[in-house]
A and B are shown apart, each in its own frame.
Chain A
Amino acid sequence: KAGVTQTPRYLIKTRGQQVTLSCSPISGHRSVSWYQQTPGQGLQFLFEYFSETQRNKGNFPGRFSGRQFSNSRSEMNVSTLELGDSALYLCASSPSGADTQYFGPGTRLTVL
């Protein structure tokens, strides 16, 4: 099976812009989670989608949003970008969310 894929791998944006990141889970996996990784804060949970519904949400502002499509692919959107949004954004999938997560390589977002 193909692993979790994330596109694009690298992004450079300026403050105030918005960005959309994409994640394709492993075939058959219905749960997709998103994480923000920064050197100072470690791995922070953003949200989890299961069967097109947001099941869990972390403590991030409303500028961060996501969605999941019927084929389990997921997108994450960040509006009105701030310098502090520069991070590695990781997507992880699992069959049900109740088990091992498989991570993609991440999208490196740089906000200038």
Chain B
Amino acid sequence: AQSVAQPEDQVNVAEGNPLTVKCTYSVSGNPYLFWYVQYPNRGLQFLLKYITGDNLVKGSYGFEAEFNKSQTSFHLKKPSALVSDSALYFCAVRDVYQKVTFGTGTKLQVIP
């Protein structure tokens, strides 16, 4: 069965510093990987996805993610954090049967 792990419940980073939110996955076949963000009392919003091609994927709001097949990781990164980036971030993987599995989420707190 496929799975997604987000090992950190919360990540704290100072405004202006680079941020990383970690994600590792397990899936049969080629992975389709996604990152979503959730602001309080809102649904999830799509940030970026990896289907194939370049290992570095660029997405919305200056976020990017690096796909590493050997480490089965898909970490979310941003060079310079903003206070407005504070939110809940979810990593997800889709299998060949179109079933999507989400990680447990990581709360990002950007400190002014």
- Cα separation A110 to B105 with both chains bound (whole Å): 22
Please tell me if B45 contacts chain A, counting CB pairs below 8 Å.
Answer: yes
- Chain A residue with minimal CB distance to B44? A103
Stretch at the interface among A14-22, A41-49, A62-70, A71-79: A41-49
Among B42, B97, B104, contact of A105 (Cβ-Cβ < 8 Å): B42
Verify B46–A102 contact, CB threshold 8 A.
yes
For the complex, would chain B's binding face be called helix, strand, loop or mixed by DSSP majority?
strand
> Which residues 42-83 in B have Cβ within 8 Å of A in the complex?
42-46, 49
Task: State which size class the interface on A falls in.
Answer: 20 to 34
Give the B interface residue count (CB, 8 A). Answer: 21
Q: Does B102 contact A (CB under 8 A)?
A: yes
In the complex, the answer to whether B34 meets A103 with C-beta atoms within 8 Å is no
Contact of B98 (CB < 8 Å), options: A98, A100, A106: A98
Q: Does B20 contact A (CB under 8 A)?
A: no
B-contacting residues, A56-112, CB 8 Å: 56, 90, 92, 96-106
A48 touches B43 (CB 8 A): no
| Chain A hits for B42, CB < 8 A | 105-106
Partner of A43, one of B32, B49, B97, B105: B105
* Contact residues in A for B34 (Cβ distance below 8 Å): 100-101
0/1 string, A13-48, CB within 8 A of B gives 1:
000000000000000000101010000001101001
**Judging by beta carbons under 8 Å apart, are B102 and A42 in contact?**
yes
Contact, CB under 8 Å: B100 / A45? yes
- Please, how many angstroms separate the alpha-carbon atoms of A98 and B99 in the complex? 9
Kindly list 16 other residue pairs between chains A and B, CB separation below 8 angstroms, not including A42-B102, A101-B34.
Answer: A33-B100, A42-B103, A43-B90, A43-B102, A43-B104, A45-B99, A48-B98, A50-B98, A56-B98, A96-B98, A98-B32, A98-B98, A100-B34, A105-B41, A105-B42, A106-B42
9 chain-A/chain-B pairs, Cβ below 8 angstroms = A31-B98, A33-B100, A43-B105, A56-B97, A90-B43, A101-B34, A102-B46, A105-B42, A106-B42
**Chain B interface residues toward A at CB < 8 A:** 32, 34, 36, 41-46, 49, 90, 94, 97-105
